[in-house]
């Protein structure tokens, strides 16, 4: 059992953000389905519990569960729902990563989910077709379509092979997908299709702005880097132990002399060739994939080397 958990931990630490998102979606799906089986045999109902994960169309309900604007985009309950979403996400996510970074993929996934939720709520609150109707949103479709549309805009003529169809450009896949979503607006999943258009809007904004050299995911990733840096610094912080014993009175001249010598020796410290080489490798990885791409061991080595060459 320990070996299994160690293997899972190793795979998680070394996985890309694309795979981590897929893993999270699958894990939450399994938790929901297992809970449903237990609830069924216990004669209980699981639906009320799922509502705390789903995103509501009413602002008053959202005020009591604000976290649902994030949780809904990582959760699926139906088998076909998660199957298609994960295939869609993984396939286009790999294409996206050929021209963009992992940090940009994560940010765009979140952007797509949030904008999809906003469009979903606006539709339910302002369109006559949804008067006096409360809707609930669940699934990663809006986030996945954001990555699809962004990839198609940045590489419209990139061709992929589809079963029974053959080679087709990404731009036509995106266009056909949007047409299908539009035709489904009057169906049973009209709210879900509105969210799809919100995700598509996020992907279009990303793709069009990137064509002009503007990365709209940069503020989000700067925030994540700041949080990660603060957390790492806090984890390594050790609160100084109080010393109740009265320290002996020292000679001020000797103290000052020793302090000056320590200051001079600290200022003269330089990086050894080994430290500099290790630092260059880690900094190069940060430049390519961002701080969040570092493993825990690499973060610790970066922190240790930085301390030695201060």
pLDDT at 282: 75
Q: What is the pLDDT of residues 30-43, one digit of tens each?
A: 999 999 899 888 88
E strand or H helix at 231, and its extent? helix 218-236
Asked if residue 255 is part of any domain, the answer here is no
Q: Residue 253 is encoded by which pair of tokens?
A: 């001249």
pLDDT at 6: 73
Q: Can you spell out the DSSP letters for 194-227?
A: HHHHHHHHHHHHHHHHHHTT--TTHHHHHHHHHH
pLDDT at 131: 86
pLDDT at 245: 43
pLDDT at 267: 43
Same domain as 296, residue 165: no
Q: Along the chain (310 residues), what's the average pLDDT of each consecutive run of 10 residues?
A: 73 87 95 90 82 93 95 93 93 92 94 96 92 91 96 91 83 93 89 94 96 93 86 61 46 45 44 71 71 70 67
Same domain as 58, residue 203: yes
E strand or H helix at 255, and its extent? helix 252-267
Q: What is the pLDDT of residues 231-245, one digit of tens each?
A: 776 666 554 554 444
**Domain boundary residue among 198, 219, 240?**
219
Contact predicate 128/181, CB 8 Å? no
Q: What is the pLDDT of residues 129-148, one digit of tens each?
A: 888 888 999 999 999 999 99
Q: Is 161 helix (H, G, I), strand (E, B) or coil?
A: strand
Task: Tell me the CA distances in angstroms from 296 to 12, 13, 103, 235, 307, one per residue in order.
Answer: 12, 8, 17, 12, 17
Contact predicate 189/55, CB 8 Å? no
Same domain as 161, residue 62: yes
The CATH number linked to 126 is 1.20.1540.10
E strand or H helix at 168, and its extent? strand 166-169
Same domain as 274, residue 193: no
Q: Can you spell out the DSSP letters for 258-270?
A: HHHHHHHHHHT--
Asked if residue 246 is part of any domain, the answer here is no
pLDDT at 271: 59
The strand pairing partners of 160, in sequence order, are 168
Residues 6+ apart with CB under 8 A from 255: none
Same domain as 80, residue 162: yes
Q: Domain containing 71: what range?
A: 2-219
Same domain as 197, residue 274: no
The total number of structural domains that make up the chain:
2
Helix axes 190-211, 102-126, angle to 10 degrees: 140
pLDDT at 266: 41
Q: Is 1 helix (H, G, I), strand (E, B) or coil?
A: coil
Q: Is 223 helix (H, G, I), strand (E, B) or coil?
A: helix
Q: What is the pTM of this model?
A: 0.73
Nearest CA among 190, 206, 192 for reference residue 72? 192
**Domain boundary residue among 190, 219, 248?**
219
């Amino acid at each position: 059992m320990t070996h299994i958990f160690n293997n899972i931990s190793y795979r998680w630490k070394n996985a890309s953000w694309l795979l981590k998102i897929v893993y999270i979606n699958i894990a939450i799906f399994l938790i929901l389905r297992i809970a449903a089986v237990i609830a069924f045999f216990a004669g209980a109902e699981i639906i009320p519990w799922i509502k705390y994960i789903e995103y509501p169309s009413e602002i008053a309900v959202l005020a009591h569960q604000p976290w649902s604007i994030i949780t809904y985009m990582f959760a699926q309950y139906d088998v076909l729902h998660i199957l298609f979403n994960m295939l869609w996400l993984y396939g286009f996510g790999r294409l996206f990563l050929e021209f963009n970074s992992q940090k940009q993929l994560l940010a765009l996934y979140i952007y797509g989910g949030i904008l999809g939720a906003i469009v979903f709520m606006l539709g339910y609150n302002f369109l006559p077709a949804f008067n006096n109707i409360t809707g609930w949103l669940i699934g990663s479709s809006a986030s996945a379509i954001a990555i699809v549309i962004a990839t198609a805009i940045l590489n419209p003529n990139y061709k992929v092979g589809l079963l029974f169809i053959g080679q087709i450009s990404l731009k036509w896949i995106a266009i056909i997908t949007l047409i299908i979503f539009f035709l489904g607006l009057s169906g049973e999943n009209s709210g879900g299709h509105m969210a799809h258009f919100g995700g598509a809007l996020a992907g279009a904004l990303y793709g069009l702005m990137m064509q002009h050299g503007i990365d709209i995911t940069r503020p989000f990733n700067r925030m994540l880097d700041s949080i990660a840096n603060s957390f790492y610094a806090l984890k390594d912080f050790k609160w100084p132990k109080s010393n109740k014993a009265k320290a002996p009175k020292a000679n001020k001249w000797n103290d000052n002399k020793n302090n000056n010598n320590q200051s001079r020796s600290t200022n003269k410290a330089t990086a050894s060739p080994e430290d500099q080489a290790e630092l260059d490798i880690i900094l190069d990885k940060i430049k390519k994939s961002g701080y969040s791409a570092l493993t825990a061991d690499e973060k610790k080595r970066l922190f240790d080397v930085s301390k030695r060459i201060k």
